[in-house]
Amino acid sequence: MKKRVIETISKEIDRDFVLEKPKDPTLGHYATPLAFSLAKELKKSPMIIAQELCEKFNDCEIFDSVEAVKGFINFKLSDTFLDEIVTEALKNESEFAKGNYEGSILLEYVSANPTGPLHIGHARGAVFGDALYRFAKHLGYDIESEYYINDAGNQIYLLGLSIYLAGREHILGYAVDMPEEYYRGEYIVELARDAAKVFGSEVFEDEKHIEKLSNWGKDEMMKLIQQNLKDANIEFDHFVSEKSLYERWDEVLEKLKAGNAIYEKDGKLWLKSSEYGDEKDRVVVREDGRATYLAGDIIYHDDKFSRAFDYYINIWGADHHGYIARVKAAIHYLGYYESKLEVILSQMVSLLKGGEPYKMSKRAGNFILMSEVVDEIGSDALRFVFLSKKSDTHLEFDVDIFKEQDSSNPIFYIQYAHARVNQLFQKAQKEPKDVIDTPLGELNEDSKNLLFSALLLPEVLDDAFHSRGLQKMPEYLKSLASLYHQFYNKYKIVGSENEDKLLKISAMVAMSIRVGLGLMGIEAKERM
């Protein structure tokens, strides 16, 4: 719809202009402040310029009126134009709001260490990433999602050790001193019990079994994490193991050396990251020859860029903030364009419980599990809450409120609007296809506003994705649902003389809600 409007205006006005929506909808559907920016150049008042420009649109079919108000040029769409757009949209639901953007994107998100189940903080990045993926797909991008498994390094050994110690304590009954930095929590004890079934309890008798427990535990955790994700309606195209990438370390290190990125000091190898935006240089190989964590990420990004996507997006936890510069520097040294990598930070989720701060710790074991929340309120509500806020600001919510399922949860409000339309069709014993070709004729102000709003989904989607402000989608759906509830209360639909027309408008509203929710990974309900 917006595209058609822009095309039409461009035919008459040969310069760039901003097309926005007036704050007061009675002024028009679209507006441009173009006259203000022309005022200086033409040495005329914005009022007069706007007037003159308006006259160019006298014979335009898609506009009812084009008026100059206080220097703004306001466009009102015509009924026939809206009808045309609606009819076309209703005939092709699967194509509605689809974009024709081109380009390939590799999206990496979650990538939580396989040392425990996902917690509520991970859930935010997971939900955001999945929705971003769905948005991009719908807009036409060739996007693939990937999970980077940190299965090399000390934390995996620590996982095995933690299981081992938990087994000694809970199964063999020894007194065990569990150091602070070890993993703890119920799931470790459960893992120990499962391990006893798989390997026999003698596995906890000798430290030589720790490595076995590490590998087994890591695999169990990945299974659990994938289940956690699936329960929230999230799936990945690829999983990449850090460990498997290390085979290429020598090769990548040579590449860095060839790019003059590495020097030796104090017996260690350093990356000259400070030359490209980082605060200081970083160690990549320690004195004892072991590579650092950064090395893994360098190999991984070399691997990613060798796959030649047009663009890369990583969603990281906010605690990785300082990490961006060094990875980008490495990418630069590897001979790729680091500007192709965009890092989106997913900020902390602060939990309250009964008004009291709830301090989260990944390792202490007193964190709130993602699965716990999904079980209690369902993945739809979880997804909705996380997508309703910008990803880069702190989000705070009270677990107790979150558990409630009443009208304070906006998803019910939106679902209800969708279900209402379905009920109307049932009452009328009709289906959307029966009313698609009904001409809408002349629309009253309320119908027109509602219809216009329902047709905004494509531009909301486009804006939400490209601005990375996914909260615009739930925001939009809330306002559309609100308009529909108002409409429903004001007009009798089934049995009225305009039944088919009103049903057609309703069908359009329902379709936008359904497609919009679908993009958020939420299924629209037929009944409440």
Partner RNA sequence: GUCCUCGUAGCUCAGCUGGAUAGAGCACUGGAUUCCUAAUCCAGAGGUCACAGGUUCGAAUCCUGUCGGGGACACCA
| Binding to RNA, residues 173-232 (CB under 7 A) | none
Site string for RNA, 312-351 (x = CB under 7 A): ------xxxxxx------------------------x---
- If one asks whether residue 408 binds RNA (CB under 7 A), the answer comes out as yes
Judged by beta carbon, residue 178 or residue 494, the one nearer RNA is: 494
- If one asks whether residue 494 binds RNA (CB under 7 A), the answer comes out as yes
- Binding residue (CB under 7 A) for RNA from 58, 92, 407, 429: 407
Structure tokens at 19: 């097309």
- If one asks whether residue 478 binds RNA (CB under 7 A), the answer comes out as yes
Q: Is 145 helix (H, G, I), strand (E, B) or coil?
A: strand
- Binding residue (CB under 7 A) for RNA from 72, 133, 148, 183: 72
| Binding to RNA, residues 418-447 (CB under 7 A) | 419-420, 423-424, 427
d(CA 505, CA 480): 12
Judged by beta carbon, residue 235 or residue 392, the one nearer RNA is: 392
* C-alpha distances in Å from residue 255, one per residue of 258, 291, 297, 298: 5, 15, 15, 11
Annotate 407-469 with DSSP letters as a single string.
TTSHHHHHHHHHHHHHHHHHHHT--HHHHTTS---SPPHHHHHHHHHHTTHHHHHHHHHHTT-
Judged by beta carbon, residue 6 or residue 198, the one nearer RNA is: 6
Phi, psi of 140 (to 5 degrees): 105, -10
- If one asks whether residue 360 binds RNA (CB under 7 A), the answer comes out as no
| Binding to RNA, residues 369-388 (CB under 7 A) | 388
d(CA 363, CA 463): 38
- Beta-bridge mates of residue 143: 105
- If one asks whether residue 365 binds RNA (CB under 7 A), the answer comes out as no
- If one asks whether residue 283 binds RNA (CB under 7 A), the answer comes out as yes
- If one asks whether residue 410 binds RNA (CB under 7 A), the answer comes out as yes
In 10 A of CB 239, how many CB atoms?
14
| Binding to RNA, residues 100-119 (CB under 7 A) | 113
Judged by beta carbon, residue 23 or residue 208, the one nearer RNA is: 23
HSE-up of residue 521 (Cα within 13 Å, Cβ side): 29
Q: Which stretch binds RNA (CB under 7 A): 6-14, 121-129, 248-256, 483-491?
A: 483-491
Judged by beta carbon, residue 196 or residue 327, the one nearer RNA is: 327
Select from 399, 379, 374, 369 the least CA-distant residue to 190: 369
- Binding residue (CB under 7 A) for RNA from 5, 13, 69, 399: 69
Q: How many residues bind RNA (CB under 7 A)?
A: 77
Q: Detail the DSSP E strand segments found in 237-281.
A: 238-241, 262-265, 268-271
